[in-house]
Each structure stands twice: as C-alpha cells, then as structure tokens.
Amino acid sequence: MSDPVKTTPPIALAIAGSEASGGAGAQTDLKTFQQLGVYGCVALTCIVSMDPKKDFDHRVVGIEPQVILDQIEACVGVNPRIDAVKIGMLGSAPTIDAVDEALTTYSFKNIVLDPVLICKGQEFAEAKAVDDALRAKILPRATMTTPNLFESATLAGMDEITTVEQLKDAAKRIHDQGVPNVLAKAGPTLGTGTALDVFYDGTTLEVLETETVGDVRVHGAGCTLAAAVTAELAKGATPLEAAVTAKNVVNASIGMRGNIPFTYVWQGWYEG
C-alpha cells in the first residue's frame, strides 16, 4: 500500500476559550489558521456563552486545569512539530498556572500572546488576579504580544493612551518587560482615520495602517489578528511580515452583521 501522507502543512496550537457564537476565541483561531494554510489544533481554556438577555455579558465556565494540560499533551502527542502557539483568553489564575506549566514542559517556539485581560461581566477582583498572573507568568514567555489599547495601557503602566506617540511609548515599555515583539493595537480608535497599530521589536518601530472598515466595534477582530500573526509565524514569516499580513486579513474579514450590537468577522473573505 502506498503511504497516504502528503506534505505536512505548518501546525499551530491555539490555547484559547470557546466563544460559542463563532465570532471570537478558539473558533476564530481555527478558521484563521485554516484560511492561511496552517493546520490548527486547540486546547480549550474556558467556555464562553454570551447572554443575549443581558447585553451579551459573558457567561464563563473554566476548564479544569488538568484537562487543559491533557489537551495540550494530546496536541503535542499527535503533532510533534508545533510551529507556533497562540494564547488567547485564559480567564483565571489556576488556568494561567496550568498554561505556565505546559509552556515549561514543551518549550514551544513562536508564542503569540493575545493578552485578553478583562472579559465583559467579569468581577473586578478576578480580573485583577488574572492581569497580575498573566503579566508575571505568561507575558515573559511570549515571542510576540498583541495588546489592544486598554491592554497596552495596563501592561505599560499608563493611565490611558489617546495619541499615536503614547501608543509607541506603550509598545516600547511592554518590549522592555522582556517581550521581543510587540504589536500594540489601536485600530480605528485614535482618530487617525485609519486602522492603526504600532509594531516594535527593540530596533524597528513601525506604524502600520490600513483603511478603516465601518465605524462600529468589530467582535473577534483581535482574535483574528493574533491568530493570523501566529499562522504567519508558523509559516516562517518574520514578526513584522506576520503583523502586516495579519492586518490585511483583519481588514478583509470585517463585515458580517449579526443579531448583536456589533459587526463581526468572517475569515472567508481574505484571498491573500
């Protein structure tokens, strides 16, 4: 019998939460990986069910830490060569401990951290514990991080970010905490008339801009961006190249209108 194995594509692992509606989280990660020609596997950290009766607050159920470790073990066991890892919503301090343990065990390359700090409907005390643990344990392991405006300000220790100069400063401050590549996202929120993000790797500081699409908040754009960065790193792109492609993917993916107060993304529109 002939060997049925064709060429193995690059492989990416998402350690992320499920967002049932399909607009964000692990669902988005898998779709983005697939779209960019990367085989995806997933270790779920939590299950988010948005509540349409309560303004789409997030109902979050954490996955048992040992089960998270078991899933990562399964992913690595089947796919011995994982080319990149995306870390999305972790949601609790025990989950962060489990992921920290797995990152020690497997020493993955190309770790992209989307530092999902606070989730709609989460208690403040819980959110603070997650922030602290994420910064102490996961951030220093990241090859690249993709904070949004709020996350950039929090991680950089700044009160707020309202200008491009402040966003550049935040990217540098986060880099100085030991993250080799930072993609600090503002999207359309700094009033530049573009979707603007800042890339910094310690030497190169680039302001990346694409045209804006609409003027409403887009659900899942951040997950899609970080997943696209992960897929491109898995394929061998440099961090800056990955950031540029990822912005184009997000730009192309915006525009599905659901029964929710915001637009969301569909990866099928990007043609590369």
| Positions that interact with ligand PXL (CB under 6 A) | 16-17, 19, 24-25, 48, 58, 88-89, 116, 220, 222-223
Rounded to the nearest whole angstrom, what is the least distance from the CB of residue 268 to ligand PXL in the complex? Answer: 19
Largest CA distance in the chain: 65
Q: In what order do the strands lie in the sheet with 218-219?
A: 218-219, 263-265, 254-257
Rounded to the nearest whole angstrom, what is the least distance from the CB of residue 123 to ligand PXL in the complex? Answer: 16
Q: Which residue has the tokens 């989307």?
A: 114
φ, ψ of residue 235 in degrees (nearest 5): -85, -5
Nearer to ligand PXL, 46 or 174 (CB): 46
Rounded to the nearest whole angstrom, what is the least distance from the CB of residue 65 to ligand PXL in the complex? Answer: 17
Rounded to the nearest whole angstrom, what is the least distance from the CB of residue 25 to ligand PXL in the complex? Answer: 3
Nearer to ligand PXL, 36 or 116 (CB): 116
Report the candidate in 174, 208, 171, 169 with the shortest Cα–Cα distance to residue 192: 208
Nearer to ligand PXL, 149 or 169 (CB): 149
Nearer to ligand PXL, 47 or 205 (CB): 47
Contact 43, 75 (CB under 8 A): yes
Nearer to ligand PXL, 19 or 197 (CB): 19
Whole-number Å distance between alpha carbons of 31 and 47: 18
Helix, strand, coil abundance in the chain, percent, nearest 5? 40, 25, 35
Whole-number Å distance between alpha carbons of 68 and 202: 33
Beta-carbon count within 10 A of 105 CB = 12
Whole-number Å distance between alpha carbons of 237 and 251: 19
Rounded to the nearest whole angstrom, what is the least distance from the CB of residue 265 to ligand PXL in the complex? Answer: 10
Nearer to ligand PXL, 88 or 188 (CB): 88
Rounded to the nearest whole angstrom, what is the least distance from the CB of residue 263 to ligand PXL in the complex? Answer: 13
